[in-house]
């Protein structure tokens, strides 16, 4: 027996998780997504018969709710998860080091790797261990940490520019979408504590083995429809009506949908426009941080590494996406650029030229390769800007309006703007909506009492 009907505005990971959790909790659910596809900012484009993801979205073993969503969608077999954390870090002149965990328990599992980290001097390596020990003494729930930048804190713990650029930013950039100098210490502590220091296997890295449009889009649609969720794509919601009595009305172009509760799983400014988030100042204050990916299709294989980080190079991370792209031969490399303010406005030909040369510097075999095709993908507002003070601006799933709830990686989940944060927000919003529906007096024939103030 249905507990009511929940409308979910937005078909990204937050909306997908919210709709599935609502259906699993006994509610009817309808999802309305403005795009023609599900998956939100984690999707793919097609070009010349190949697939290119709009970002190299990775997850960690500690991302429990995201991994549970993959299981719920029947997609667990379509991702790869490292049996043990191992990040090759390529430096100039062929110098390579690895961030690799040992079988030792946390926090000692990374000590050997850091002690042998060739990109820093012996003295700098000892400083890494002292800074890591200091991180363990910080509480990720301490709101005072949100007033301090991670870079400022690192500098105060003896970490110089080389140490920050050659190690700390390797983790900060892809997880916070900001460099350490610009990022909130509170969110950085969450990343390093939960992802690397508190549990030995937490930081093992996973990524999709198939295009994201399949992993999140096609699989989500099948799971949602099997759960009885009505999925309406290419349906941008333009208003959420709150009448004196009766159900909510979600209006799209030429269509109206009545629901008993609403979850707005959309970016901050959209939530403001729909009246679900009343703090426009906070929405603007959260800002945005971009991500750019440069995809290079080469006529031959130039590396056997599935992925690698680079230092002293414009390349941050490079992934082998040959199989996932569908390329029958050669190699497809995806160069992932987080906090990409310096690249978001540059033209595609210039980016392709510069990053083809940068790849050749780190992978000598690429100097003889021929570039067959290239694609640049951009997400100008990939995440909120996780700078000091940002965490205090993030709202809870509940709002001032009874029956209206928020979801999205920008909401207050305690996590940065990651896939895990998005899924957690959707689950939180669904739990809040189901609880609100269960606490409302039962009425017959959808003739609801006045519930709004």
Cβ–Cβ under 8 Å, residues 419 and 413 = no
Delimit the domains of the chain by residue range.
5-38+212-286+388-439, 44-80+206-210+288-383, 100-203
Other Cβ atoms closer than 10 A to 227: 15
Q: How many CA atoms lie within 13 A of 432 on its CB side?
A: 22
* CATH class label, 5-38+212-286+388-439: alpha beta
Phi-psi label, residue 66: left if phi above 0, alpha if psi -120 to 50, beta otherwise: alpha
- State residue 3's pLDDT score: 82
Distance (Å, whole) CA 71 – CA 203: 19
CA proximity to 330, closest of 297, 361, 307, 357: 297
Instruction: Report pLDDT for 440.
Output: 57
With 0-12 / 13-18 / 19 or more C-beta atoms within 10 angstroms meaning exposed / middle / buried, residue 326 is middle
Residue with tokens 């793919």: 44
Alpha carbon distance 175, 57 (integer Å): 10
Rounded Cα distance between 378 and 413, Å, is 26
3-state secondary structure of 40: coil
Strand (E) positions, 265-337? 289-298, 307-310, 317-320, 331-337
Per-residue pLDDT of the chain (453 residues; tens, 9 = 90+): 578 999 999 999 999 999 999 999 999 999 999 999 999 999 999 999 999 999 999 999 999 999 999 999 999 999 999 999 999 999 999 999 999 999 999 999 999 999 999 999 999 999 999 999 999 999 999 999 999 999 999 999 999 999 999 999 999 999 999 999 999 999 999 999 999 999 999 999 999 999 999 999 999 999 999 999 999 999 999 999 977 777 999 999 889 999 999 999 999 999 999 999 999 999 999 999 999 999 999 999 999 999 999 999 999 999 999 999 999 999 999 999 999 999 999 999 999 999 999 999 999 999 999 999 999 999 999 999 999 999 999 999 999 999 999 999 999 999 999 999 999 999 999 999 999 999 854 333 222 222 222
CATH no. of 44-80+206-210+288-383:
3.90.660.10
Give the per-residue pLDDT at 364.
96
Tokens describing residue 139: 């509480």
Q: What is the pLDDT of residue 443?
A: 32
Strand arrangement, sheet containing 58-60: 58-60, 205-208, 79-81
Our measurement of the distance from residue 329's CA atom to the centroid of its chain's CA atoms, rounded to an integer in Å, reads 30
Count other Cβ atoms within 10 Å, centred on residue 185. 25
Q: What is the per-residue burial (b if ≥16 Cβ within 10 Å, else e) of 246-262?
A: bbbbbebeeeebebbbb
Q: Note whether 31 and 11 are within 8 A (CB).
A: yes
Structure pTM? 0.94
The number of CA neighbours under 13 Å toward the Cβ of 359 is 32
């Amino acid at each position: 027996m249905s507990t009511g009907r929940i409308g979910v505005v937005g078909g990204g990971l937050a909306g997908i998780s919210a709709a599935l959790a609502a259906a699993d909790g006994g509610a009817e659910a309808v999802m309305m997504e403005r795009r023609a596809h599900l998956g939100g900012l984690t999707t793919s484009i097609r070009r010349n018969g190949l697939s290119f993801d709009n970002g190299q979205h990775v997850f960690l073993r500690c991302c429990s709710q995201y991994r549970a969503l993959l299981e719920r969608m029947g997609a667990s077999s379509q991702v790869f998860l490292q049996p043990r954390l191992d990040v090759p870090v390529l430096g100039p002149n062929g110098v390579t080091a690895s961030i690799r965990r040992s079988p030792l328990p946390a926090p000692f599992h990374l000590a050997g790797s850091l002690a042998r980290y060739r990109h820093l001097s012996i003295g700098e390596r000892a400083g890494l261990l002292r800074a890591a020990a200091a991180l363990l003494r910080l509480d990720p729930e301490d709101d005072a940490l949100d007033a301090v930048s991670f870079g400022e804190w690192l500098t105060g713990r003896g970490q110089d520019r080389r140490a920050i650029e050659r190690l700390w930013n390797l983790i900060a950039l892809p997880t916070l979408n900001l460099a350490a100098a610009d990022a909130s210490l509170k969110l950085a502590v969450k990343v390093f504590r939960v992802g690397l220091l508190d549990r030995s296997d937490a930081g093992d890295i996973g990524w999709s083995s198939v295009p994201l449009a399949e992993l999140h889009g096609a699989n989500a649609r099948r799971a949602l429809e099997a759960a009885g969720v009505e999925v309406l794509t290419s349906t941008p919601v333009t208003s959420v009506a709150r009448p004196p009595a009766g159900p909510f009305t979600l209006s799209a172009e030429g269509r109206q949908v009545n629901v008993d509760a609403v979850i707005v799983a959309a970016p901050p400014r959209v939530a403001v426009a729909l009246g679900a988030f009343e703090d426009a100042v906070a929405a603007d204050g959260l800002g945005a941080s971009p991500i750019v990916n440069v995809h290079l299709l080469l006529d031959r294989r130039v590396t056997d590494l599935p992925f690698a980080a680079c230092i002293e190079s414009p390349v941050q991370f490079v992934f082998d996406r040959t199989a996932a792209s569908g390329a029958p031969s050669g190699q497809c490399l995806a160069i992932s650029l987080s906090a990409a303010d310096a690249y978001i406005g540059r033209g595609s030909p210039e980016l392709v030229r510069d990053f083809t040369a940068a790849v050749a510097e780190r992978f000598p075999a690429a100097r003889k390769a021929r570039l067959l095709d290239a694609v640049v993908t951009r997400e100008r507002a990939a995440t909120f800007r996780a700078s000091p003070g940002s965490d205090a601006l993030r709202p809870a799933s509940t709002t001032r309006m009874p029956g209206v709830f928020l979801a999205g990686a920008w909401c207050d989940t305690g996590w940065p703007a990651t896939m895990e944060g998005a899924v957690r927000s959707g689950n939180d919003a669904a739990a809040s909506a189901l609880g609100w529906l269960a606490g409302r007096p039962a009425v017959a024939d959808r003739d609801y009492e006045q519930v709004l103030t």
